[in-house]
Amino acid sequence: DTAVSQTPKYLVTQMGNDKSIKCEQNLGHDTMYWYKQDSKKFLKIMFSYNNKELIINETVPNRFSPKSPDKAHLNLHINSLELGDSAVYFCASSRQGDTGELFFGEGSRLTVL
């Protein structure tokens, strides 16, 4: 069983479109995250949620809207896609109150044409 799973693995779309990425974790963790990895492999946090509540929004444009319907799911919807949104988006989870190691999904590679 995959611990943190993301779908889809690949998205190719045109500028201006809207797309969503879904994430689910079966580890029983309380905290979930979205990270963006750019073409130079820099990793930057976008959002973190704890028990479905938004905790961190790292000055991400409001075209990006995360949603956490329950503790096990954190989805990312992106409106009006731009070329600069092309990246690999990683979902991760961790246990609240623990030492904080992150468990990552396999990533969703978004290409905006």
Partner 1 sequence: AQSVAQPEDQVNVAEGNPLTVKCTYSVSGNPYLFWYVQYPNRGLQFLLKYITGDNLVKGSYGFEAEFNKSQTSFHLKKPSALVSDSALYFCAVRDMYTGGFKTIFGAGTRLFVKA
**Contact call for residues 76 and 21 (beta carbons, < 8 A):** yes
The percent of the chain in helix, strand and coil, each rounded to the nearest 5, is 5, 55, 40
Residues near 17 by beta carbon (within 8 Å), at least 6 away in sequence = 80, 81
- Minimum distance from residue 86 beta carbon to partner 1 (Å): 16
Residues in the chain: 113
Of the candidate residues 1, 28, 59, 101, the single one contacting partner 1 (CB under 8 A): 101
Q: What is the smallest separation between the CB atom of 42 and partner 1, expressed in angstroms? A: 6
State in angstroms the smallest separation of the CB of 59 from partner 1.
12
Q: Which of residues 34-73 bind partner 1 (CB under 8 A)?
A: 40-45, 48, 50, 55-56, 58
Site for partner 1 contains 104 (CB under 8 A) = yes
